[in-house]
Amino acid sequence: MAERSLGDHSLPDRAVASLSRRALLRAALGAAAVGALGAACRGEATPTGGPPSAATGPTATAGPSGAPGYSVALSQPQKLKVAWTAVTGAQSGVYMASETGAWKDLGLDVELVRMGSSSQLAAALRAGELDGGVLDWALAFQFQSQGGNAREVAAITNRQIFSVVSQPSITQPQDVIGKRWGITRLGSAAHTASLLALDMWGIRPDQVQFLAMQDVPAILVGMQAGGVEVGTVSPPTSTRALQAGLHQLVDLAEQGPEYPSIGLAIAERYVNNSPDVVRAYVAGYASGVARFRKNPDRALEVLRKYLQIEDEDILRDTYDRFSRYLAYPPTLPMSSLERIKNDLAQEDPAVAQVAVSDVAAPQFADDLQAHDYFASLL
């Protein structure tokens, strides 16, 4: 039987498909606790070496700085290890912040590393092997319910930027019942989007067979090979899927409800002890999004590097989509988070005990917004 990897632990397809979102996160966190992330982190996410420095007072910024006298750059450089988690245009702001020096301009020496999913990222945060990264909102609530140590501090996408595609023989939502459905991992953003689509159609999650394919491009490969009949994919893979003749059942970015997908998270110790670092982290990310919007040529170069795509039409389509889809300003969507919590609590009662304020720390983006910092970048 084929296996799906979770760090150094592997799970059979059937076992992965039957695990609850909560159980998968617990497995990932348990692996971290005993140092079993292994291959997922080794060489990519090593321990950060102690608590953040408190000597990070702001000084004059290089470049836009919002209202007169307001500054976010750090007086002393601060190292952070930050992870991106999916081959998708949704993480373009993170790519651009790193590639164009937006974080560096503010005194943050960010090492950007690749991890396979939000659930792996959560495990690495628990193990102290990462400082922050791109975290699915749904997983953030479950992570906190299990003693998580990170908070979301900036919005990345406030809708589910996924399409559900199917083999051409599946032409309507009810046809997915009983079918194999490719996602990245249980507990990932792709899984959350899949559950949202099923809810829209009045279909129970146990009426389909979820298969963990590790990353979004692999879902398309699996569909083309006939291994799965349905898949949840994001741009540019969704564009490639339609070019390959697959059928689109729903584009959640255009037809779905407002439902926050992913945010930018940072270890809680920074929120508590080094607010200036967090403010610079959010400001640098915002600058990455602004540069993505303002400089299409550079943005296309960065997308080509991270998405490993040479097709200019697909790259341009991805750029056009995420110029619209990336949340800007990246203030947290606080009014929408209670729905995510309530939806999750139906399958995981522990989430009901988690306050939204335990998961989201909106004060940093709100402060930048109040001082016109985001407006100054455009």
Q: Give a yes or no: residue 38 inside a domain.
A: yes
Neighbour count for residue 209 (Cβ, 10 Å): 17
Which residues, 6 or more positions from 257, have their beta carbon under 8 angstroms from its beta carbon? 159, 196, 200
Give me the residues paired with residue 152 across strands.
Answer: 265, 360
Report d(CA 37, CA 322) in Å as an integer: 32
283-306 tens-digit pLDDT: 999 999 999 999 999 999 999 999
- In a 10 Å sphere around its CB, with 0-12 CB exposed, 13-18 middle and 19+ buried, how is residue 56 labelled? buried
- Assigned domain for 168 exists: no
User: pLDDT tens, 241-288?
Assistant: 999 999 999 999 999 988 898 999 999 999 999 999 999 999 999 999
Count of domains for the chain: 1
In a domain, 15, yes or no: no
Contact between residue 119 and residue 187 where contact means Cβ atoms under 8 Å apart: yes
Give a yes or no: residue 145 inside a domain.
yes
What CATH number does residue 294 fall under?
3.40.190.10
Q: Do residues 131 and 280 lie in contact, with contact meaning Cβ atoms separated by under 8 Å? A: no
Q: Which domain holds residue 355?
A: 31-149+267-337+346-377
How sure is the predictor about 36, in pLDDT bands with cuts at 50, 70 and 90? Answer: very low
What DSSP designation does 63 have?
Answer: S
pLDDT at 15: 32
Predicted pLDDT at 25 = 56
Whether residue 278 is contained in a domain is answered as yes
Residue 192 lies in a domain: no
pLDDT tens-digit readout, 165-212: 999 999 999 999 999 999 998 878 889 899 999 999 999 999 999 999
In a domain, 242, yes or no: no
Tell me if 326 is assigned to some domain: yes
Give the pLDDT band (50/70/90) at residue 98.
Answer: very high
